[in-house]
């Protein structure tokens, strides 16, 4: 696979060997400039309103193209857990929710906190075969946060279809480097601040047309109205699209996100995918040479069991990474280079 020239310098400005996108992606320079411009205008009182609805529309359209769905299927929000809570609220009491063991809390907690749903957890590798006729929803991540394992999306979708279950896919650890077919799932949720290189406060919900018919707009405000000028008293009509599930936009975050997503579109997810996997393969090969075993193959997230205790030494050496679930976790993205991988391996060899 081909390794791209990293976009550092022209588009990004890392001051460390940054291999920690699974925790938080780097903001491109153009996104930072957009935040500064809007914040300055808000401070000076030189604009009408706190931000641009055109920016929100541009982000919606951009994410839709990256996710392979129409913009009418995309809702904008601030966090994955809020999107998931909306879906959890719509399930009937006693419904079974199937999830992988060790799934990220934002994906399962909104269901668990209800107290009247049947939660069942199984190994990720057995997720498809564990779907039963009484399974209402399968809630899972395309890439596991703790160790980078990639779910068998086709098998889960097939099992769900065979048993009449719905699927909720969290693409937070994959969207931006792994191609996303959001239309293949009833719901997808995605945090923007990781591989999409957006600020915190940006998240995305996609909903099929069928799912829109049964999903209530529980937290709808005037942002969810068909007519955005309809903002006194109960709105006369909710938006006819997934915009009815929007949270009020965090304009500073979304002004930046407009530029982050445009950059990803210009590079192309296919190119980023090849670049990230080539770098991850280089990292895995180097780890093997050092006597370490990584958990997942074919993933931009590279996790090594039992090495979480050396993270602080790596950080002191200027290599940014994370420790999750007993693993030392690296994540590579479009702004990384072979030199970044080699530097991490050099430091690891010395600890």
Encode pLDDT of 262-286 as tens digits. 999 999 999 999 999 999 999 999 9
Does residue 94 fall inside a structural domain?
A: yes
Regarding whether 295 and 216 lie in a shared domain, the answer is no
In a domain, residue 100? The reply is: yes
CA distance linking residue 285 with residue 74, whole number of Å: 39
Average pLDDT over residues 234-257: 96
52 and 100 both lie in a single domain: yes
Does the pLDDT value for residue 7 go beyond 90?
no
What is the band of 67 on the pLDDT scale with cuts at 50, 70, 90? very high
Any domain includes 11: no
Q: How far is Cα 335 from Cα 24, in angstroms, rounded to an integer? A: 13
Query: Among 266, 293, 322, where does a domain finish?
Result: 266
Q: What is the pLDDT of residue 2?
A: 67
pLDDT in tens, 93-147: 999 999 999 999 999 999 999 999 999 999 999 999 999 999 999 999 999 999 9
* Co-location of 62 and 186 in the same domain: yes
Is residue 1 a part of any domain in this protein?
no
Residue 75 has pLDDT above 90, yes or no: yes
Which of 266, 284, 301 represents a domain boundary (last residue)? 266
CA angle 50, 242, 142 (to 5 degrees): 100
The domain of 346 spans 17-28+268-350
Range with lowest mean pLDDT among 23-37, 124-138, 201-215, 284-298: 201-215
Q: Mark whether 64 and 187 lie in a shared domain.
A: yes
pLDDT digits (tens, 9 = 90+) for 206-243: 999 888 888 999 999 999 999 999 999 999 999 999 99
Q: Is residue 347 pLDDT above 90, yes or no?
A: yes
* Number of domains making up the chain: 2
- pLDDT score of 42 more than 80: yes
Share of the chain above pLDDT 70, in %: 98
164: left (phi over 0), alpha (psi -120 to 50) or beta: left
Instruction: Give the model's confidence band at 79: pLDDT under 50 very low, under 70 low, under 90 confident, else very high.
Output: very high
My answer on whether 74 and 219 are in the same domain is yes
- The overall average pLDDT reported for the chain is 96
Give pLDDT, residue 272: 95
What order do you get walking across the sheet with 187-191 strand by strand? 74-77, 203-207, 187-191, 166-170, 135-141, 96-100, 118-122
The answer to whether residues 74 and 242 touch, using CB atoms and an 8 Å cutoff, is yes
List the structure tokens of 157: 């979708």
206 and 137 in one domain? yes
Average pLDDT estimate for 167-190 = 98
For residues 138 and 184, membership in a common domain is answered with yes
Residues 246 and 287 in one domain: no
Q: What pLDDT sits at residue 21?
A: 98
Question: Given this model, what pLDDT does residue 5 score?
Answer: 74
Evaluate whether residue 50 is within a structural domain. yes
Q: Average of pLDDT values for 199-212?
A: 94
pLDDT of residue 1: 60
What is the CATH classification number for the domain harbouring 245?
Answer: 3.40.640.10
Which long-range contacts (C-beta less than 8 Å, at least 24 apart) are formed by 116-123? 117/88, 117/91, 117/93, 118/94, 120/96, 122/98
Q: Does one domain contain both 251 and 153?
A: yes
235 and 316 inside one domain = no
Report the largest interatomic distance among the alpha carbons of the chain, rounded to a whole angstrom.
Answer: 66
Are residues 243 and 286 both part of a single domain?
no
| Whether residues 274 and 287 fall in one domain | yes
Domain ends where: 210, 238, 266? 266
pTM: 0.96
- Whether residue 7 is contained in a domain is answered as no
Token pair for 290: 């050092």
């Amino acid at each position: 696979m081909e390794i791209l020239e990293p976009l550092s310098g022209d588009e990004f400005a890392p001051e460390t060997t940054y291999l920690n996108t699974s925790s938080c992606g780097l903001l491109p320079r153009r996104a930072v400039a957009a935040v500064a411009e809007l914040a300055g205008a808000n401070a000076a009182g030189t604009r009408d309103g706190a931000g641009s609805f055109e920016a929100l529309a541009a982000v919606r359209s951009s994410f839709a193209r990256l996710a392979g769905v129409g913009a009418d299927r995309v809702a904008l929000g601030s966090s994955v857990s809020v999107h998931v809570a909306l879906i959890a609220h719509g399930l009937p009491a006693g419904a079974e929710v199937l999830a992988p063991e060790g799934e990220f809390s934002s994906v399962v907690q909104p269901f668990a906190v209800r107290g009247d749903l049947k939660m069942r957890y199984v190994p990720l590798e057995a997720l498809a075969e564990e779907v039963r006729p009484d399974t209402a929803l399968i809630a899972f991540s395309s890439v596991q946060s703790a160790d980078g394992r990639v779910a068998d999306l086709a098998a889960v979708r097939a099992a769900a279809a065979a048993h009449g279950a719905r699927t909720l896919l969290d693409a937070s650890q994959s969207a931006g480097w792994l191609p996303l077919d959001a239309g293949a799932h009833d719901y997808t949720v995605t945090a923007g601040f990781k591989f999409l290189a957006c600020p915190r406060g940006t998240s995305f919900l996609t909903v099929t047309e069928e799912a829109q018919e049964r999903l209530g707009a529980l937290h709808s405000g005037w942002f969810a109205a068909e007519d955005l000028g309809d903002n006194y008293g109960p709105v006369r009509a909710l938006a006819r699209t997934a915009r009815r599930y929007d949270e009020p936009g965090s304009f500073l975050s979304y002004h930046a996100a407009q530029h982050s997503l445009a950059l990803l579109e210009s590079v192309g997810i296919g190119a980023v995918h090849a670049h990230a996997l080539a770098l991850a393969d280089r990292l895995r090969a180097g780890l093997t040479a050092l006597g370490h075993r990584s958990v997942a193959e074919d993933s931009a997230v590279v996790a090594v069991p039992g090495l979480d205790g050396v993270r602080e030494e790596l950080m002191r050496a200027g290599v940014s990474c994370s420790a999750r679930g007993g693993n030392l976790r690296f994540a590579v993205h479009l702004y990384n280079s072979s030199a970044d991988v080699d530097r991490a391996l050099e430091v690891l060899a010395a600890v």
